Structure 1
Amino acid sequence: MEVGQPAPVGKRAWLVLGMLCFVYVINFLDRQLMPILAKPIQDTMHFSDGQLGLIGGFYFALVYCFISIPIGYLADKTSRSKVLAASCAIWSAATMSCGLAANYLQFAIARMTVGFGEAGGVPPSYAIISDYFPRSRRGLALGIFNTGPGIGAALGVAFGASIAAAYSWRYAFIVLGGVGILAAIAVLVIVREPVRGGLDPVPAYPVKKGSFWETFAMFFSRKPLVLAALGGGATQIITYGLQNFAVLFLMREKGMTLGEVAVYYSLVVLVGMTGAMVIGGAMVDRLARHSKAAYALIPGVALVLAVPFFIAFVTSPTWSSACWFLVVAVFLNHFFLSSNVTLVQQEVRPDQRVMSGALLLLVMNFIGLGLGPTYVGAVSDALRASHPGQSLQVALFTLVPFYLVAISLFLVLARVLRRESRKPTHLVGEFVE
């Protein structure tokens, strides 16, 4: 472990958290532009639902997930803030390239390059936050950070749809990608590299820095970490399948316009996703003090409650009523993220945090991001002949069984965490409470 004074917990910590959250907003804003603008892109480029699903799902996840491992390892061994800044610059430039694409292949390559850059965005941020905030405040800090997707998606809807409605969908990619270039420069100025493990309990005995394969083996040998990743992956089949096709569904099958999307759908995403991250993070901090099972029960119970609202959203006769049910479903669907991230960051050594965060995202995103949009798009294409006006509605409805899979995995995780809590020492190897 590196030695030195603990990272300060004060104005500097909150400033860094704010900067990291802003970069995460840009990260998700750029990622969500394609599903937000799917209808005008389809009208111009003539992509099918299946092609959109592959670009937003399997192709993106293939690059995003597997490049995150070497980038995570690099960040664990070097400067996490510089890795983050470089990644932000890459994905932002690639986003601008999407607006210049002339055909499917060019668009797909640009989106895959966005995934290449974004792979270095989140894991280093998790580790930096964990070294700026003590264990007792980490869940809230990570919960606030995880509002980035909700804010980013909402701003992407508001600005992306507005720019596309006023000018062209291509300008939306170019303008918003340019904002990310400026954010990358700001990271270099604002985010100072904190001491690794400076706010963690003193190790029971000297810790050696783990190798790539040691961290890899540790992660996949621990049931709680694997179950959390699998439960998150099953949940993300639902969340990413929904995110990538909700706007297209509301516009094509419910009659929503781009102008209405810019206002009402952006509010759905902002309230639903950000509310879940902040409230979920605060609940983790409070309830996990009494029982580690809270890391699993919080998302498990939320998903049980989400099922009827999701079904009501899919079957609603109008876009306005669908949005009311969707905001609740989105809110409950996203409780898992703060719980999963906090659990992993608490359970591993400081020198393994970026790599472990990358492995968590690898499993969750390869399952959820890789399969969710790809699955929904393929099912919709298959149903276009038999259900020409409702193919996306039926495709989204087939996501319901994945709720049962995710709930089951989180219940198993709760049982494992209860069993581990009874052990005298329950943290990984070197660290004790």
Structure 2
Amino acid sequence: MFESGAPDGTPWEDKRMFAFAARAPRPIPTTILFCCAYVLSFVDRQILSLLIGPVKADLHLDDFQFAVLNGFAFAVLYSVLGLPISMLADRFARPPIIVGGLALWSLSTIGCGLSGGFWGLFFCRMGVGIGEAALVPAVYSFLADIVPAARLGRIIALFSAGSFVGAGLAYLSGGALMALLRPGSLPGGLVPWKLCFVIVGAPGLVLAAVIACFVHEPAARGAREARAGLLQTWTFIRGQKWLFPLHFLGYSCSAVMLFSLMAWSPAYLMRVMGMPHGVVGGFMGGVAIVCGCGGIWTSGRLIDALTTRGIVRAPVIVGAGGMAGAALLFLLSGLCGVGTAGLVFFALTFFCASFPMAPSAFVIQTVAPRSMRAQISAIMLLCNALIGLSAGSMLIGLLDDRVFTASDGIRYALPIVAIVASTAGAAMIAGTAPFYLARWRALSRGE
């Protein structure tokens, strides 16, 4: 990508024109482009939840049908297809895979706005999930090939911050767009919620074209290594004893905390903290962007700072510490109750809950062979989707419906699930320390 120099035979005075196109890989510009894609992915996946009222009314959907569209239709292929797509990323050039996924989920988002019924919207949401499944494993693998190990933590953090920016923009923009696009003010009587999908989907097509033009596979990648299949990857995972089982389960518990906060915080803030409905979107948007991005950037910088000081267990310390801190801060928020102190501790919970994203990716990219990185990242995302995105959120709903049946039952359901999961995750990640150290020593010996 961003190579410097010109094709052989080009006159010297013309070479400056190609200076951007032939340099050695430049991590920051590439990461910013990938981060923008991650921002758009979260806006496109989250926007439906903010349009629940008009979508249900216009398509005559019940709550169960909307839940299927918002969760199951997206998550089922997002989690399942991540692994086979990652196998392609470990075998072939990754930029075309990233560009193809970005174009697919953008077109599918636009298709959501053109859908006239439940099934049309269902299949378009599946398309969003398939497209987004191509992004993260391929990007993590790509960044690990172009970034020195001493800077990998902050670069991964920079990319991962896109998820919080996207979530924050979805909170902030959904209501604003619906307020601007009033019925009767649109040409041809176009329904406002449909135009929202078209508006948020279109930028992805432009970004896909930019990435296709300027990001290319590193020349040094993979020619020296055979591409690994799923069997070889599974054999490697088993050979590391408890490192990967504890890693996958521990960071899936962190995903329970983070996804639970993102999904249930609006209800928690309104029912428990007494926050007006009109204020929740702005507050959550600010918390997601400021505290989420701030936490993940701090996490990445801590990993790099500790690593350069010779502390090999840096990602373990940062990951486990972030989870333990999030559990403690959420407990303090609940104990403080309504008021400024409770909201401050709630925002700080988000800050610490974002810490695990950088070390979870850092460990995989540093201990796994290059030919397996995307596949192992996809397994990590599969666990996060099934345990964090699905199981944790459903458990909170179950507790709220069946156990804590009062109108403010979320006061207990959300903290119980989130705090227990985060505490268990911290313990499991701390337990990876001896296995991570053993793998690091083996790599130092060239094994």
TM range (shorter): 0.7 to 0.9
Query: Displacement of 1:81 after TM fit?
Result: 0.6
Q: Distance in 2 between matches of 1:97 and 1:377?
A: 30
Q: Which one of the candidate residues 188, 213, 217 is aligned to 1:193? A: 217
Change (3 A) 1:180 1:67: same
> Is 1:343 the counterpart of 2:363 in the alignment?
yes
Note the residue ranges of structure 2 that are not aligned, 5 or more in a row.
Answer: 1-21, 182-191
Change (3 A) 1:189 1:245: same
Q: Bigger relative contact order, structure 1 or 2, given CA contacts below 8 A and separation 6+?
A: 1
Instruction: Single out whichever of 206-215 and 38-47 deviates more from structure 2.
Output: 38-47
Query: Displacement of 1:181 after TM fit?
Result: 2.0
CA contact (8 A) 2:82 2:382 kept: yes
Q: Which one of the candidate residues 126, 132, 138 is aligned to 2:152? A: 138
Note the residue ranges of structure 1 that are not aligned, 5 or more in a row.
Answer: 1-6
Q: Which residue is equivalent to 2:415?
A: 397
Instruction: Single out whichever of 231-240 and 249-258 deviates more from structure 2.
Output: 249-258
RMSD: 3.1
Q: Distance in 2 between matches of 1:159 and 1:320?
A: 25
Query: Displacement of 1:246 after TM fit?
Result: 1.8
Q: Distance in 2 between matches of 1:241 and 1:273?
A: 14
- How many residue pairs align between the two structures? 412
Query: Displacement of 1:346 after TM fit?
Result: 0.9
CA contact (8 A) 1:271 1:327 kept: no
Equivalent residues in 2 for 1:73-222 (5 A)?
Answer: 73-101=87-115, 105-167=119-181, 168-197=192-221, 207-222=225-240
Q: Distance in 1 between matches of 2:47 and 2:213?
A: 27
Q: Distance in 2 between matches of 1:176 and 1:258?
A: 24
Query: Displacement of 1:96 after TM fit?
Result: 2.8
Q: Distance in 2 between matches of 1:171 and 1:321?
A: 40
Q: Which residue is equivalent to 1:270?
A: 289
Change (3 A) 1:220 1:37: farther
What is the one-letter code of the residue matched to 1:395?
A: A
Q: Which residue is equivalent to 2:40?
A: 26
Deviations 1:74-126 (A, max 9, x none): 12222211111110111122223334555555544433322111100111111
Q: Distance in 2 between matches of 1:312 and 1:164?
A: 36
Q: Which residue is equivalent to 1:281?
A: 300
Q: Which residue is equivalent to 1:292?
A: 312
CA contact (8 A) 2:69 2:125 kept: yes
Query: Displacement of 1:298 after TM fit?
Result: 1.1
Q: Distance in 1 between matches of 2:364 and 2:268?
A: 35
Equivalent residues in 2 for 1:227-266 (5 A)?
Answer: 227-251=246-270, 256=275, 259-266=278-285
Q: Distance in 2 between matches of 1:221 and 1:112?
A: 35
Equivalent residues in 2 for 1:319-334 (5 A)?
Answer: 323-334=343-354
CA contact (8 A) 1:163 1:171 kept: no
Q: Which residue is equivalent to 2:381?
A: 361
Q: Which residue is equivalent to 2:7?
A: none
Q: Which one of the candidate residues 432, 437, 441 is aligned to 1:413? A: 432
Q: Distance in 1 between matches of 2:326 and 2:304?
A: 22
Q: Distance in 2 between matches of 1:312 and 1:101?
A: 45
Q: Distance in 2 between matches of 1:54 and 1:367?
A: 17
Q: Which residue is equivalent to 1:226?
A: 245
Deviations 1:133-180 (A, max 9, x none): 122211111111111111111112222221133335444333111222
Calculate the TM-score normalised by the size of structure 1: 0.84
Q: Distance in 2 between matches of 1:163 and 1:408?
A: 43
Q: Distance in 1 between matches of 2:29 and 2:277?
A: 35
Q: Distance in 1 between matches of 2:266 and 2:193?
A: 14
Q: Which one of the candidate residues 397, 415, 427 is aligned to 1:377? A: 397
Q: Distance in 2 between matches of 1:251 and 1:271?
A: 21
